[in-house]
Structure 1
Amino acid sequence: MGYVESAPPDGLRDAVACLWRSTVTGERTGDAMPILPDGCVDLIWQSGRGAFLAGPDTGPVADTGPVTNAGPGGRHVVVGVRLRAGAGGTVLGMPLTPLQNLRPDLADLGLRAELPGELAPGEALRRLVTLTGRLVEERPADQVMLAAARLLRDPGLRVPELGDRLGVSDRQLRRRFGAAVGYGPKTLQRVYRFRRFLSMAGQGSLAELAVRAGYTDQAHLTRETAEFAGMTPGELVRRRRPGREPAAPPGPG
């Protein structure tokens, strides 16, 4: 499997984290690495299927599965536009909480686009970018929610302080945040901590990595890894390989 990211067009960088492409060869098995939470939602096209929305995830989600008309050797291609955490609900024009851990077709969400599964991958990505541009023009990303998501990357930030930092009431923050992200600020902060651990996996003992990532101890890491990945930290480190699954980077976004 090959996975590569590229920068979005300049006009979309406020709302879009990256464009990406993944090529999968061979049959998928029950052992395949699941997609793990990253705080983002993605507009995706898959050869043989068409276009759908991914996320927001609160736990491991099985990969999109085999396709009926994959190329030689079972090869198929997936391309996507990853919306920044805090941008999704506003840009898509719908609250994201009801879409947790789902992969609905774009047509079922009322997002009109000609994206059949028979397209060439490059053309499919071009059409996804065009669709995203139209959505962003109609409903620009909520700047307050984008700022909230950025602030939550700070492991030292206390969530009750977030509203004061942004100049909005706690009640308004939680309502807008849930609609824009798909879950509350505390959950996103936990997802970011989990992604920090993933970014450091293999660079020390699990006890060391737990503290460096911001967990209280290794037991805390183990509990949250079970929730977000469905496995122990040790198993996750063994099974995860570079490029194995599309992952939002732990850096600024």
Structure 2
Amino acid sequence: MTALVNPAVVTADGFEDALPPSEALRPWITEIGRIDPRTDLPPRFTHLPHAATTIVLRAEPSGRRDALVIGPRTRATYAGAKEPLGCLRLRLAPGVAQPLLGAPAADLTDRVLRLADMPGPAADLAGALTEIDLDEVLTFLESALPRALSESSTRREHRRLLDSAVAAIHRSTPMPEVATTLAVSERQLRNLFTAGVGVSPKHYARITRIRQVLAAAGNTPWSDIATTTGYFDQSHLTSDFRALMGVTPGKFVRGDLPAPTACQRTTRL
């Protein structure tokens, strides 16, 4: 994801191998990340804020397998590696949580749940996903997802609106202008976005900008990064960074990070 000045600052994205979703998976999955079992994991690493609902398939050295649902993360968390772990992370497209998992993304935000406990059709796939080899998962899903999912014309239209809204946010287009372009009210768009993505358009934009700041961090002055990422000035960047990352930008790149915390417990809807 990003090459920070201090090699001690490691993000989970940083040791994840990105795999492009196949055409068959692209309607439902936007990003795929693979972490192979390894013994050289850093003693601590950062999970960056991320505005996507993710299905995470974990394989422990003991052979134990888990299929989890990780809701959108509104703030960074800091973890320590205890043992090697194989992992496949499937980030869902906007609006997919409801038809696939049986719950709006807004109900999953900042939560960890077991895939088998979800009320949607994906729960029926959990058993197979924890039994087959991680290398076989994507091929399995290419066949299983089209059979498991059925969407009404209304839901397809909502997903089209969400895709357009997300793209507009990445272009820094103001929400009133986005709503006008899509011929919906700003309130309707905000409610649809929050339910389908899991965070408000404003918080989605904040997460997007912080990730852009981290991608630019290095030898570039913070004042220049603030300008290029759309902040009014450096102080606004620092304030937003501290709110989402838990530390100032300077402390983060120096490796002066919050202490690792225990893994988040799974909950039920």
Q: Residue 225 of structure 1 is aligned with which of 220, 238, 241?
A: 241
TM-score, with structure 1 as normaliser:
0.78
Quote how far apart the aligned CAs of 1:42 are.
1.1
Matched, 1:82 2:91: yes
Matched positions, count: 231
The correspondence of residues 1-253 of structure 1 with structure 2, limited to 5 A, is: 2-23=15-36, 25-26=38-39, 32-47=44-59, 48-63=64-79, 66=82, 74-110=83-119, 111-113=123-125, 114-115=127-128, 119-127=132-140, 130=143, 132-138=145-151, 142-155=159-172, 157-239=173-255
Aligned to 1:71: none
Aligned-CA RMSD value: 2.8
Structure 2 CA distance, aligned partners of 1:168 and 1:90? 22
Structure 1 CA distance, aligned partners of 2:75 and 2:252? 13
Structure 1 CA distance, aligned partners of 2:58 and 2:244? 24
5+ residue gaps in structure 1? 67-73, 241-253
Structure 2 CA distance, aligned partners of 1:61 and 1:184? 20
Q: Say which SS state the counterpart of residue 9 (structure 1) adopts.
A: coil
TM-score, with structure 2 as normaliser:
0.74
Quote how far apart the aligned CAs of 1:236 are.
2.7
Distance 1:59 1:24, change over 3 A: farther
Query: Which has the larger Rg?
Result: 2
Distance 1:115 1:2, change over 3 A: farther
Q: Say which SS state the counterpart of residue 54 (structure 2) adopts.
A: strand
Whether the 8 Å CA contact 1:45–1:125 is kept in 2: the answer is no
Q: Say which SS state the counterpart of residue 211 (structure 1) adopts.
A: helix
* Residues 29-79 of structure 1 deviation map (CA, whole Å, 9 limit, x = unaligned): 8x622311222111110013410111211111345964xxxxxxx322000
Whether the 8 Å CA contact 1:34–1:62 is kept in 2: the answer is yes
Structure 2 CA distance, aligned partners of 1:167 and 1:44? 36
* Residues 172-211 of structure 1 deviation map (CA, whole Å, 9 limit, x = unaligned): 2122111100111111111111121122121401121111
5+ residue gaps in structure 2? 1-13, 257-269
